[in-house]
Structure 1
């Protein structure tokens, strides 16, 4: 599956000049990888730009010749449009997004760390080894919900440029005690003005966050490299060698009020996805400023119900439209709501190996066959020499 994502990254488009970016409005296209559970029945979906569909299908067939792809209507078209419609049906929703606990440069555990790459090579050699695909935990969680419940998970991915590698290099230099001269820059006047403008706008509903002023520090002795730091640096360097995607994981939980429980969405899904966590590297956590819950103890301490309602409507809108955050601060502010500022939805970099670990076609190592409908027959092309016309 990793080669599938490598191929997707090769389909990246971008604005080449000022005219294309600000006049034509060209943006880099993105995909949505989705796993949906309808009452315990799990389905896999890929939402693709129309002009990339044929190439996407070819890439997937190249890796999974026996897979069957079927175009369907968007399941969100049958979903209520607003929270008011949801409440009329005596249902409720909970939603949120997952973000990385550390900087993007730190990778999560991948299928390589679980030894699944060695299992594949051993099968090619005729040797059979046992193992469990780590995606099993997520599918078991999705398959264990009640009949009336729905759990929807989407992974939005957009091919990233190489700029993220520069930030990763800074992290490596810091771990190895190497001075990165390019990173030593004074904060510009423009940067300070942008920070002031942002904090001025959000001050009524969010406590301003000011960056610490830079102080001159005396030259220190060369940092002693610890074995753990060297191991982490090697993992980051290995991650940098793979193509990266701007990514965002978003989820929705929909259930009747009689059985509705936020614990599954907040803890069950996070627990299933955090089997990819590594104490020394990275892991996922919920984004508290996006999820559809808050309390009066959090700033600004007012209009709690209205803020929660605005978050629910926003997460429902974003999921339905497979929406990535706007790139500019002005665009985020202009699409905000009086009770919800769209500044906190955050993308992060996941490379092709990490994406292949999080989303792939279930293999024989997935122990969730009762929850997934499998096709027992294989679709093959017709044999050569078949008559085309009746007279033949």
Structure 2
């Protein structure tokens, strides 16, 4: 009997969930639907229970000494953390460094992977006082692509105190590049809703968890340093999309990241012990795949036994790729993009190129994908945004978040995914000469020391 009631409960639950998802698929707020459903149920109950309203009011007032202080504490804590972190951030000096590219870069993205490893810094929020009283955080960085009228630039945004760290890591692997401090293009740009149209989006892992990576330069065999004419760099599509911007169009890409250091989960079988979430999620996924690859068999006594693992090709690739990345330092990463254009030249294909700009790195079959999410992607139906009020509000929030490089800290905290230096280096590295996008400018001369035998 109890089992029947349990099945009935789950049946109602999944039916309700299905209705909620169906309503959400039509662009109607799920929260609004559930609120109206709750109010409707209360209205029906009030017909059969005349004193229901007074009873609920009295119950809320009577129990207020219990739930009200808890709500106020949580609200005050959120306000305090936002205030103290924003105050601490306001005192930081930041710098935007533009990467000037030489004509020839012979190194594979593995050099960038080694450089990014040096960005894994966890200092700044080790103690409780640092995190919750002074508001300090561990340093975060931003890799950025920006195209202005088809002219492509690469930037690194960094705290001033970590500028030498960034410069030393990049110069160590790419001695021919040049890093120049430049004015922050995002801060000086003035968006005018009367003359401009803007489309904003995030890019996030889907449909699998971040235990599954995307394609990396190793999958394209760039780690084997093939000859220039045989190199296939998926970043070429990104540069071509940026170079395709016309006069009056701009496209910006921002990759904000910091060391994955405080993402924990409760250890299985223990209440007060914690472990790194991503690391153990990867181990769990590998174990699930390994178990799924073992074909069960029946012994002589009729008992089912688990067979020896015999993974398929895709299962083997999944396990090898995840375990390879498991041996590297993890970063929390947030990715956003912005397309801005004059109303006269706004282009639907250019907008779509932003949404699908990371497609060359996707592996929908058995790994992961970077797909567009949030931002303007939620507006599919006209009733979702009356007179484009929400569109303008989202635009303003995205511009403010972009200027602040706020993705991992308040006031704009977004959903992130875990990436290793291998993955980050794949989606951001100085391109070799095989990438000849028309908007990508390079330094005409190569830096070199003077010969030692010059006459004095």
TM-score band by shorter chain is 0.7 to 0.9
1:212 aligns with none
1:230 aligns with 316
Q: 3-state DSSP class of the match of 1:360?
A: coil
Offset at residue 380 of structure 1 (A): 3.4
2:278 aligns with 164
TM-score relative to the length of structure 1: 0.74
- For 1:222 and 1:311, locate their aligned partners in 2 and report how far apart those are by CA, in whole Å: 53
1:374 aligns with 442
Offset at residue 222 of structure 1 (A): 4.6
- Considering fraction of residues, name the structure with more strand: 2
Q: 3-state DSSP class of the match of 2:192?
A: helix
The answer (yes or no) to whether the contact 1:132–1:366 under 8 Å persists in 2 is no
If asked which structure has higher relative contact order (CA below 8 Å, sep 6+), I would say: 1
2:403 aligns with 320
Distance 1:297-1:149 versus aligned 2 partners, 3 A rule: closer
Distance 1:235-1:56 versus aligned 2 partners, 3 A rule: same
Number of matched pairs: 316
Distance 1:296-1:268 versus aligned 2 partners, 3 A rule: closer
- Select the residue among 311, 318, 339 that pairs with 2:394: 311
- For 2:248 and 2:387, locate their aligned partners in 1 and report how far apart those are by CA, in whole Å: 28
TM-score relative to the length of structure 2: 0.64
Distance 1:53-1:2 versus aligned 2 partners, 3 A rule: same
- Select the residue among 112, 130, 141 that pairs with 2:218: 112
Matched, 1:2 2:87: no
- For 1:381 and 1:323, locate their aligned partners in 2 and report how far apart those are by CA, in whole Å: 41
The answer (yes or no) to whether the contact 1:31–1:157 under 8 Å persists in 2 is yes
**Structure 2 unaligned residues grouped into runs of 5+:** 1-111, 262-275, 293-303
Distance 1:48-1:251 versus aligned 2 partners, 3 A rule: same
Q: 3-state DSSP class of the match of 2:322?
A: helix
Distance 1:324-1:375 versus aligned 2 partners, 3 A rule: same
- Select the residue among 199, 205, 210 that pairs with 1:94: 199
Offset at residue 364 of structure 1 (A): 1.5
The answer (yes or no) to whether the contact 2:257–2:408 under 8 Å persists in 1 is no
Offset at residue 129 of structure 1 (A): 5.3
Q: 3-state DSSP class of the match of 2:245?
A: coil
- For 1:271 and 1:292, locate their aligned partners in 2 and report how far apart those are by CA, in whole Å: 12
- Select the residue among 169, 178, 191 that pairs with 1:59: 169
- For 1:112 and 1:302, locate their aligned partners in 2 and report how far apart those are by CA, in whole Å: 43
- Select the residue among 351, 359, 376 that pairs with 2:428: 359
- For 1:154 and 1:371, locate their aligned partners in 2 and report how far apart those are by CA, in whole Å: 18
Report the RMSD for the aligned CA atoms in angstroms. 2.6
Q: 3-state DSSP class of the match of 1:70?
A: strand
The answer (yes or no) to whether the contact 1:66–1:378 under 8 Å persists in 2 is yes
Which one has the largest radius of gyration? 2
Distance 1:262-1:320 versus aligned 2 partners, 3 A rule: farther
- Select the residue among 337, 346, 350 that pairs with 1:251: 337
Deviates more, 1:229-238 or 1:241-250: 229-238
Deviates more, 1:303-312 or 1:348-357: 303-312
Deviates more, 1:20-29 or 1:95-104: 20-29
Offset at residue 302 of structure 1 (A): 7.2
- For 1:73 and 1:87, locate their aligned partners in 2 and report how far apart those are by CA, in whole Å: 23
- For 2:385 and 2:240, locate their aligned partners in 1 and report how far apart those are by CA, in whole Å: 39
Q: 3-state DSSP class of the match of 1:48?
A: strand
- Select the residue among 237, 251, 259 that pairs with 1:151: 251
- For 1:41 and 1:176, locate their aligned partners in 2 and report how far apart those are by CA, in whole Å: 48
